[in-house]
Structure 1
């Protein structure tokens, strides 16, 4: 078919359009030339092709059709009385009464970037950043939502997340700050901030019932489990700040289909729970190839080949008990523990946090494990490799562009064109989201694509370095966060004079988050599974309170089982809440 025959109706492109299109690519076409005439014809033919697709109705894969639940899908935005921690985005109750799976009777919240049919998809951002100036109502259920409902779980709603999932602390959401359940006024970490707060409520309530915590302030309704998202630490960081377990699985183990992406290279979703057993249980429900997500590879197990992590963990413990080893001096016998030397040299690591994590790591010796310090010099460059490898693609997704590989995009979620409104909305709410755009442009203008290509080469080097270290040990241990949760900046409080809770001084927002991901983000690009587990307490910087400290446990790719064993064996020496 000829180019001319592809065009129908009156031409829609002009020579000015051709000039602009050429300019966007950095070249010019001589006005009035034969070349200009030819490319004007090409432009009109191409525009006719664009219109043909634009006129088609949107298509939703039937595999993502909403699951049939009990009753109508309804939700509401809870007020401050019902939602004192601001951890809920929207509340609902979705369940399949006939489902009798492993999550029966358990309540679950999902991060507000996960599609739940009938609920708004908020992304923690101002609706003004999205098409038509409002958050879309999702017409689909993400694969993880389907699997949770099929396993008998009850989804109680969506949890507040940081603005566009681009911040490591919990005061950038359009709805306002998310309070730490252990210390209101302090951060829960981000970007899965609401998830961490809602799950940790159970531990706070337990501490009150036992008399260990005599304070009385409103918490609101919590949940048993949550689905978080992690591109640089956004499951692990809030888990560490909040005293829960947060597992970023191997890249490609859990499908990301139906979840708003930042970059397929680093996108992960995973469980956030109060116990190791629940992390194992939820992982088994969520994991497995879905036939849609391009992040999954031939290494990803089919659903019927996913290990039964919970059963396998219990079988391992039972074997230990039979051998008389499930004791305070034998629970970790046979495990090889590596303490990652360079992880304690990162900028901004609070010595008090380092001491708690080192003490937690040393506990494994008394539990019978083989414990050694492991040096991986390239770990010091891990955050830089993550940044340069991942940054160029992130604005691509913020603008609503599809990935390079076929995936199920979310056409109902369409960001507005990035421009001055984007800057004005976010610069004093979440400057990191603006900085990512600035970084990507800086990278392109000064270095071109060569530097990002080089960073991708070093991702393979970094993966190899971790793989070699993990031949000597079963897991690597690192601090998770550099400090205990910081206090929310005073400038983020919503007042009559500042109804949006925006800070006039950008650095007030940035400073508490600097360095937070130095020990977490590298495992997003290499794809290794990593879990934050609570191991103790640290004093807050302002006031007399204390907040949880988390330790990161990293294993070989596809070896989540070792992480679960190591974390559970550590608890034989005493629960983290009992430490001082």
Structure 2
């Protein structure tokens, strides 16, 4: 695992100096996967033959001596709801167990342009619906720090794979915390960009107004490099923001003197594990020692965020998942009596219980007579939640709090209690509703499991957020600690 503990820059220098080849990096990745995959189950599909062929081609390119980017030849994993040409994209669902896309998502195309090697597709909660990765229709992912515990979700495979040293970085998707929460549970860095900064073209939609692709990495510097590669306007995505992309890496100065930090009191109140709160307060003391200032701020509409999120996300899921009907693509039920029976049987057999639960909730919220009372009301509350952030950012440069109210929980412990499971998103969901960027970085341990610190930035101000995260990381060593699988 030693080579996978290096920063991207260090690996790049070794490649450039001829100390290691692309083929050797790919070999190391698959060797590590073979060693650890029986324990953590991070992947659904591996792409070994194409990855090795691609690595050999990259080695030939290295010989010409031209300058290559920092992601060149690095083994990466892609969450299985991001389409990959010629490589199964299942969304963790039996419904798409035979779906072989004929095109690449924009982010996958950008990684190919950068020269990274996709080693496979990562396990996830079915259609990105879940917070523990127990909703995968294949098998649950396990936390590398303790395989009796969940890795978080829905990007649990992405987080576990990076934490276990199977890949250098992974792509995940975040709808209500699905990058940040598993990053916190697995002790790595997970970044959800501003909505619209990274193209969603080729991301299988769950809730289109919330979904956003982002990187999961071992440290903040690597996160900045990957974000640099995947950010940017895309005409294929109608929600893509046409904004200038700054140099994120140059923001990593380590200097946060004068940084104004707001700490939402609602993220530190009832329901937050005392050990998690203690780790966050210790992190704030580190910032104080570096010359930053912090004070408590109120985000008064936080208490409505969970209800608002699950109404809106479920409503959008009901609409988006209507396309899975057993006719156009995906698995089709055998021997239907008629067209309606084909729809019913295909959807009954193809979707798992959590997906069905959210489709039914969303369909109800959008139905005649209930639309105004539920969906429209939730949209109005979403505006109020966004205003909370707008007001806070008039005074503060970043907001900081816990990523999740607790550390990872045991597999099977909450799977039968969806309301408790939903409440695990209380710290991440408001950020998604507001569309602002946020990232989780390791800030401590509680009972041997990692604790995540959430840093929230202003819209399209990932630079300040990354600067704050990097400064903390440079004065602590939590990100250097690795699980012993």
Name the CA shift for 1:571/1:399 in 2 (closer, same or farther; >3 Å). same
Question: Superposition pairs for residues 177-326 of structure 1, below 5 Å?
Answer: 177-202=140-165, 222-297=166-241, 300-301=242-243, 305-310=244-249, 312-314=250-252, 316-317=253-254
Name the residue aligned to 2:424: 516
TM-score, normalization: structure 2? 0.82
Q: 1:559 to 1:290 in 2, by over 3 A?
A: same
Alignment partner, residue 554 of structure 1:
456
**1:513: how far off?**
2.0
CA contact (8 A) 1:332 1:369 kept: yes
Give yes or no for contact 1:252–1:296 (8 Å, CA) kept in 2.
Answer: yes
CA displacement at 1:446 relative to structure 2: 7.8
Name the CA shift for 1:191/1:184 in 2 (closer, same or farther; >3 Å). same
Aligned to 2:304: 381
Alpha-carbon shift at residue 425 of structure 1 (Å): 6.2
**In the TM superposition, what is the alpha-carbon distance from 1:391 to its structure 2 partner?**
2.4
CA RMSD across the alignment? 2.7
- Per-residue CA deviation, residues 285-310 of structure 1 (Å, 9 max, x unaligned), is 0000110101214xx32xxx411211
Gaps (5+ residues) in structure 1? 1-69, 71-75, 203-221, 318-330, 403-410, 491-505, 540-545
Contact kept, 8 Å, 1:339 with 1:361, in 2: the verdict is: no
Q: Does 1:530 align with 2:455?
A: no
- Counterpart of 1:108 (choices 76, 94, 97) is 76
Give secondary structure in 2 for the equivalent of 1:176.
coil
What residue number does 2:398 align with? 475
Per-residue deviation, 1:484:
1.1
Q: Secondary structure at the match of 1:383?
A: helix
Aligned to 1:500: none
Deviation, structure 1 residue 423: 4.7
Rounded Cα–Cα distance in structure 2 between residues aligned with 1:82 and 1:443: 40
Structure 2 residue 9 is matched with structure 1 residue 84: no
Kindly provide the CA deviation profile for residues 164-183 of structure 1, in whole angstroms up to 9, marking residues without a partner as x: 21010022212211111111
How many angstroms apart in 1 are the aligned matches of 2:390 and 2:440?
A: 20
Matched with 2:5 is none
Most deviating of 570-579 and 144-153: 570-579
- Tell me the residue number matched to 1:399: 322
Which string of whole-angstrom CA distances, capped at 9 and with x for unpartnered residues, describes residues 525-558 of structure 1? 211001011101011xxxxxx1101011111000
CA distance in 2, matches of 1:412, 1:104: 34
- Post-superposition shift, 1:461? 2.4
What is the match of residue 121 of structure 1? Answer: 89
CA–CA distance in 2 between the matches of 1:526 and 1:532?
Answer: 17
Give distance in 2, aligned partners of 1:379 and 1:291.
34
For residue 448 of structure 1, report the CA deviation from its aligned partner: 2.2
More displaced, 107-116 or 377-386? Answer: 377-386
**C-alpha separation between the residues in 2 aligned to 1:146 and 1:425?**
29
Q: SS of 1:271's equivalent?
A: strand
Q: Could you say if the C-alpha distance between residues 510 and 387 of structure 1 is closer, same or farther in structure 2, counting changes exceeding 3 Å?
A: closer
Look up the SS of the partner of 2:323 in the other structure.
Answer: coil
Q: Determine the C-alpha separation between the residues in 2 that align with 1:514 and 1:349.
A: 14
Q: Structure 1 residues 401 and 171, CA, compared in 2 at 3 Å: closer, same or farther?
A: closer
Quick one: distance in 1 between partners of 2:35 and 2:469? 36
Give the equivalent residue in structure 2 for 1:574.
476
Please list the CA deviations of residues 158-216 of structure 1 after superposition, one character each: whole Å capped at 9, or x if unmatched. 111111210100222122111111111211011111100110013xxxxxxxxxxxxxx
CA shift, 1:344, in A, is 1.6
C-alpha displacement of 1:447: 4.8
Equivalent residue of 2:393, what SS? helix
Q: If you compute each CA radius of gyration, which structure gives the higher value, 1 or 2?
A: 1
Match of 1:419 among 340, 344, 355: 344
Distance in structure 2 (CA, Å) of the matches to 1:578 and 1:113: 29
Distance 1:253 1:414, change over 3 A: farther
**Cα distance in 2 between the residues matched to 1:567 and 1:391:** 32
Task: State the alpha-carbon separation in 2 of the partners of residues 378 and 251 from structure 1.
Answer: 20
Matches of 1:483 and 1:358, distance apart in 2 = 15
2:377 is aligned with 1:435: no
Secondary structure at 2:388's aligned position in 1? helix
CA–CA separation in structure 1 for the residues paired with 2:185 and 2:75: 22
TM-score w.r.t. the length of structure 1 is 0.69
**3-state DSSP class of the match of 1:180?**
coil
Q: Name which of 339, 342, 345 aligns with 2:266.
A: 342
Determine whether 1:163 maps to 2:165: no
